[in-house]
Structure 1
Amino acid sequence: MDGKTPERDQDSFVEFDDARAILLVDHERTTARIRALGRDFTSIVEDSELSATDDEHDPEGTTIAFERSQTSALLGAAVRHLADVEAALRKIDEDSYGRCEYCGEPISRERLRARPAAQTCITCAEKTV
């Protein structure tokens, strides 16, 4: 990475402003999702402490352990996504938005339109999968 920021023409200013607006909405939505999942997780844990059921052998559906695990995984994914959104917002402020974290090349406009919080170009993203 050469440390240069991407040149910004009039069109890219509009895109950066659009990206910021989209990311701010995503931030708000993700924060609300984290709060809701946190409440769900707490409720599952509290319910399991108050219940004397044998959920391991209950033929009536999913186990409490499964619900807790699933909610925990969703919560973890939401927290990681929020971190990506916050990183993208910082990059917009620092004029480094739209550059791949690995190779330093520009991230395609199409990718940023589809995934505004993307931190890597398609080539590097495919290498990490």
Structure 2
Amino acid sequence: MSPDDELAARLRAERDATEAQVASLTRDLADIVDGADLVATDDEHDPEGHTIAWERQQVAALLDAARVHRDDLDLALARVAAGTYGTCETCGRPIGTERLAALPATATCVACAP
């Protein structure tokens, strides 16, 4: 197996895990919303209302982050296919191997990171 094949396999495995996380969080959010519909809560005055609202927003934020990560992994896979993976999209210099090991979906070197 070539290094590019190994890299693509690693990225696909991480993408698959992230897709499973997106599916799980989507179910969790639906369960929270469905559960809240069954109870007449007043978020402002009911002590449980704040908890439900916080939990809903927490899961929604985690879901958004997982979707962004999945999309970043798709872009990384496209860079592997194009032969540009590991090259900073901003300055064109190589991205350090340590950075790629820690953040395999990254598109920028440390110097250009937002």
Same fold (TM over 0.5): yes
Q: Which has the higher contact order (CA 8 A, sep 6+)?
A: 1
Q: Deviations over 1:53-111 (max 9, x none)?
A: 34544556961110110000000000000011000000100111111121121111121
| Counterparts of residues 63-78 of structure 1 (less than 5 Å) | 63-78=51-66
Q: How many residues align?
A: 113
Q: Deviations over 1:17-57 (max 9, x none)?
A: 33211111101100010001000101111111111234544
RMSD across aligned positions (CA): 1.7
Is residue 123 of structure 1 aligned with residue 111 of structure 2?
A: yes
For 2:82, the equivalent position in structure 1 comes to: 94
* Equivalent residues of 2:41, 2:49 under 8 A apart: no
Is residue 22 of structure 1 aligned with residue 31 of structure 2?
A: no
* Equivalent residues of 1:19, 1:116 under 8 A apart: no
In structure 1, which of residues 43, 46, 52 is the aligned counterpart of residue 34 of structure 2?
46
Q: Distance in 2 between matches of 1:58 and 1:32?
A: 34
For 1:5, the equivalent position in structure 2 comes to: none
Q: Are the structure 2 counterparts of residues 50 and 59 from structure 1 closer, same or farther at C-alpha, using a change threshold of 3 Å?
A: closer
Q: Distance in 1 between matches of 2:105 and 2:72?
A: 6
Segments of structure 1 that go 5 or more residues without pairing to the other structure are 1-12
Equivalent residue letter for 2:8: R
- TM-score normalised to the size of structure 1? 0.79
For 2:92, the equivalent position in structure 1 comes to: 104
- TM-score normalised to the size of structure 2? 0.89
Q: Distance in 1 between matches of 2:50 and 2:97?
A: 43
